[in-house]
Amino acid sequence: DSGVTQTPKHLITATGQRVTLRCSPRSGDLSVYWYQQSLDQGLQFLIQYYNGEERAKGNILERFSAQQFPDLHSELNLSSLELGDSALYFCASSVVPAGGSFTGELFFGEGSRLTVL
């Protein structure tokens, strides 16, 4: 058990809908990362937050947004869903942000599997 909790584990919805994925990082970790895993694209970095502030942005669509709350949990909001958004969405956490001299590993949750029909 990595200590990172993601909910829901599975989600089935229709095109055009909006969903929210939730992540609770490990106790003490200030940094949260969101990744999307799909068969054709592999593991793609979406966005990173550190202590409530956005630190880095990757291949995140404009239809997607995220935030990190004062209690350090994070939510990833996916709207106007398309079939191609079906994927496994991972949250990871670390004590410090991945930048500069950070050499530590990320701790991943078990993911939220989104199916868009």
Partner 1 sequence: AQSVAQPEDQVNVAEGNPLTVKCTYSVSGNPYLFWYVQYPNRGLQFLLKYITGDNLVKGSYGFEAEFNKSQTSFHLKKPSALVSDSALYFCAVRDRRGNTPLVFGKGTRLSVIA
Binding site for partner 1 (CB under 8 A): 2, 4, 33, 35, 41-43, 45, 48, 55-56, 58, 90, 92, 97-101, 103, 105-111
State the minimum distance, in angstroms, from the CB of residue 77 to partner 1.
20
Closest approach, Cβ 22 to partner 1, in A, equals 15
Residue 52 Cβ, how far from partner 1 at the closest point, in Å?
16
Write down the least CB distance from residue 9 to partner 1, Å.
9
Q: Which helix or strand (DSSP H or E) is residue 5 part of? A: strand 5-7
Tell me whether residue 64 or residue 90 sits nearer to partner 1 (CB atom): 90
CB nearer to partner 1: pick between 42 and 70: 42
Q: How many alpha carbons fall within 13 Å on the CB side of residue 58?
A: 11
Helix/strand/coil (H, E, C) string of 29-91? Answer: CCEEEEEEEECCCEEEEEEEEECCEEEEECCCCCCEEEEECCCCCEEEEECCCCHHHCEEEEE
Q: Which is nearer to partner 1, 10 or 71 (CB)?
A: 10
Strand-strand pairing, 112-116 and 10-13: parallel
